[in-house]
Amino acid sequence: MNTAKKFNLWMGIALLILCFFIIFVVYPLILILYKSVIDPESSKLTLDYFTKFFARKYYWSTLVNSFYVTVCSTIIASVIGLPMAYVLRSVKIPGSKYLNILIVISYLSPPFIGAYAWIQLLGRNGFVTQIINSIFGVKLDGIYGFAGIVLVFALQSFPLIYMYVSGALKNLDNSLNEAAESLGLTAFQRVRQIILPLVMPSLLAGSLLVFMRVFSDFGTPMLIGEGFKTFPVLIYTQFMGEVSTDDHFAASLCVIVIVITLLLFFLQRYIAGHYSYSMTALKPMEAVEAKGSKKIFAYLFVYGVTFLAMLPQLTVIFTSFLEVSGGAVYTGNFSLQNYMNTLFAKDNNSITNTYLFGICAIFIVVFMGIFISYLTVRKRSYVTEVLDTVTMFPYIIPGSVLGISFLYAFNKQPLILSGTALIIIISLAIRRMPYTIRSSTAIITQISPSIEEAAISLGATEFKSFWKVTVPMMLPGVLAGAIMSWITLISELSSSIILYTSKTSTLTVAIYTEVIRSNFGNAAAYSTVLTLTSIISLLIFFKLTHNKDISV
């Protein structure tokens, strides 16, 4: 019967995609889990690696450090992001549209570039440190360790809180505010009793995302942490370290971090499910002209924070044009030397790699994302339900863990991928997949099924109606999402740094390695290229969507 044939076509696609995820997500994860509890010599089950971790302060203190850093950064990010969102929504501020774009840009650049830029400013030989030292005659040693990490993370993460809260405020109908006012509440009481509780779910959702990002970021503490070691740094050094590496111990660390992010993920789900209000504003809050000291304070705050957030980018772009001698010493002259050394250097394909890998990964993500979301929304079955769950796994796996698991899984027969471009492309695609699936699913659920039924009633086969009607209708939304994916992919570091070889180096890897080698000039030039690419892509995104608001 014909219906059976169609059933098989969709089922076939679902199974094919499922296979892909089993090979590239489930299998590497199981391998990590296996390694973490198996003694390589006796091949017996053991919990030694976990005991080793919790027995020695040198190890477990990194976990404490990570929590310490993450909690502090998340709180500071919320304290900055929440008032930013409220002030920009409620007070008329000239150029607020551009401030919004600048905040998004500062968010999209990789955190470790922020770390490296702040070292340029506030490090041992930083511009600002030197100025302070010469004025006050002191000998400040620069901002490293805990304070440095928190500074970078807080400034890097507040935009996420800002975007979440700003989105919630946009959906908050002003009549709620007016109702509260008519009931006799002062402006301050309104914020505390009406607005804050209503944006609280978004604030919590945003802070949990910040928490997860900060917790698994490894570039920043690596660069600016110095003696202050966090958990991702421990994982990296255990796996890549020059002194002693222990695969099985590194695997057990990966398991610990997966468990933690998994718990956070469920906490976020719980909060999103239980504490969300569905609001659609007929008449959103309007930004009004502020008066007197309130106005001055609002302007100072908003412009000040945006300036601080953009400062790393500006520093990087500025220093990229400075002449350098011996890698890290600035001569005080302007030149294009850094660009000559990087962009036009021989055998340097990190820029072309970045573009090539990014585009390939985006292609995979979009193609699969459309199919997966279509299958899970419209062709429900046990297979698609499994698919739905499995494709969300990468969301909770930190990049470095994914990278390590890939090396474990694909450096031997039958599938040797380590060192190839393909392994980086697949890792990028898989890391971004959950976001694309989520946004595509949202798009599909907005398309009425009767549109497809109409096509079928007019003689199109099921597949044709999908291809000719559903896909073209989804495409604008999916492409907008793809641009955002592209921006995040080209600034990805934590899995590429583990998977790259000299032939498959990308921009972020190049920046990182140049910074580690103290070739600040080259790093600045690479960073500038990356930042400009992000900005141009973002402008294309705004142009395409005619939309000032972004969901990441």
Q: Which residues bind another protein (CB under 8 A)?
A: 1-3, 6, 448, 450-451, 453-462, 464, 469, 472-473
DSSP state string for 465-491: HIIIIIHHHHHHHHHHHHHHHHHHHHT
The least distance separating another protein from the CB of residue 359, rounded to whole angstroms, comes to 25
Spatial contact of 552 and 486, defined as CB atoms under 8 Å apart: no
- 414 vs 472, which CB is nearer to another protein? 472
* Rounded Cα–Cα distance for residues 164 and 161 (Å): 5
- 186 vs 547, which CB is nearer to another protein? 547
- 1 vs 243, which CB is nearer to another protein? 1
* Rounded Cα–Cα distance for residues 311 and 260 (Å): 33
- 97 vs 464, which CB is nearer to another protein? 464
The least distance separating another protein from the CB of residue 466, rounded to whole angstroms, comes to 12
The least distance separating another protein from the CB of residue 439, rounded to whole angstroms, comes to 18
- 325 vs 457, which CB is nearer to another protein? 457
- 191 vs 473, which CB is nearer to another protein? 473
The 10 Å Cβ neighbour count of residue 531 is 23
* Rounded Cα–Cα distance for residues 81 and 76 (Å): 8
- Among the listed residues 366, 390, 363, 362, the one whose alpha carbon sits nearest the alpha carbon of residue 376: 390
The least distance separating another protein from the CB of residue 473, rounded to whole angstroms, comes to 6
Structure tokens at 246: 């222990």
Structure tokens at 37: 């509890």
* Rounded Cα–Cα distance for residues 446 and 319 (Å): 47
- 295 vs 378, which CB is nearer to another protein? 378
- Give SS3 for 189: helix
* Rounded Cα–Cα distance for residues 526 and 511 (Å): 6
The least distance separating another protein from the CB of residue 461, rounded to whole angstroms, comes to 5
- 147 vs 447, which CB is nearer to another protein? 447
* Rounded Cα–Cα distance for residues 177 and 186 (Å): 10
The least distance separating another protein from the CB of residue 167, rounded to whole angstroms, comes to 25
The least distance separating another protein from the CB of residue 447, rounded to whole angstroms, comes to 9
Single-letter code of the amino acid located at 435: Y
The 8 Å CB, 24+ separation contacts for 413-418 are 415/23, 418/499
Spatial contact of 533 and 488, defined as CB atoms under 8 Å apart: no
* Rounded Cα–Cα distance for residues 166 and 86 (Å): 7
- 433 vs 469, which CB is nearer to another protein? 469
The least distance separating another protein from the CB of residue 366, rounded to whole angstroms, comes to 17
The least distance separating another protein from the CB of residue 436, rounded to whole angstroms, comes to 21
- 208 vs 455, which CB is nearer to another protein? 455
The least distance separating another protein from the CB of residue 452, rounded to whole angstroms, comes to 8
The least distance separating another protein from the CB of residue 468, rounded to whole angstroms, comes to 8
Task: Give the CA distances from residue 341 to residues 321, 327, 346, in Å, rounded to whole numbers and listed in that order.
Answer: 12, 11, 9
- 453 vs 549, which CB is nearer to another protein? 453
- Among the listed residues 404, 395, 402, 397, the one whose alpha carbon sits nearest the alpha carbon of residue 236: 404
The number of CA neighbours under 13 Å toward the Cβ of 42 is 6
- Among the listed residues 234, 239, 242, the one whose alpha carbon sits nearest the alpha carbon of residue 57: 234
By DSSP bridging, strand 411-412 and strand 329-334 are unpaired
